[in-house]
Amino acid sequence: MSLTIYPAIDMRGGKCVRLLQGDYDQETIYGDSPFNMAKSFAADGSEWIHMVDLDGAKDGKRVNDQFVIEAAQKLNVNIQIGGGIRSEEDILHYLENGVNRVIIGSIAVSNPEFAIDMIKKYGAKIAVGIDAKNGYVATHGWLDTSELKAVDLGKRFADAGAETFIFTDIATDGTLAGPNIAAVCEMAEVTGKNVIASGGVSSLADLQAIASQGIQGAIVGKALYENRFTLKEALKVGGSR
């Protein structure tokens, strides 16, 4: 089974950044233009780009949405966006402006009934983002940890019809220490749905290991920005879907 590669663009203050383990105080800036970064990823042949509004995730409202929509409307690439999506208005704002998939995260924990309604209404255009710390769900830009197990949340939304999950292990995110493949596999097994692995990818071998487990996709961020490998090399590992 081939692996879809999702190069990541995390946006804060209109710039491309990466955080270490979700810590807003440990930020590295990698570019001044999210659109130009997306354009380069599309030019390298990526079918998807994963964009995150970090300001939105922290503030609970859309902040960097103009960069997302610009990429969606001007580039021949699929865009998925997460961060700061708290209402159906937010979802429609993106979907009606060319974005292919909207990720609901914190709101899925605080208002699961709303999340289920959106999943039933918009189907495959909604992905559920589950961010975990030691197996428990973290919310609001990873500033809070709940008492809810990540796999239990995944099972609930899978039963409600969610088709795609983005699973992030906070302990590995931005560390280049390797992904938590066991946790990703557990989420895939419990939900029986498409799971995109996020966090910790540091090498092509990590991508090969994820692919060998039959996982649908992998988000790659810091490893690309730190030149551990190129996007073209990653796409070759992923193969065509």
As annotated, the active-site residues are 10, 131
What secondary structure, in 3-state letters, does 76-93 show?
CCEEEEECCCCCHHHHHH
Provide the pairing of β-strand 164-169 with 48-53: unpaired
Beta bridge partners, 29, equal: 17
The answer to whether 238 and 215 are in contact (CB under 8 A) is no
The answer to whether the CB of 145 falls within 8 A of the CB of 138 is yes
Cα–Cα distance list, 76 to 22, 66, 70, 71, 143 (Å): 30, 17, 11, 9, 34
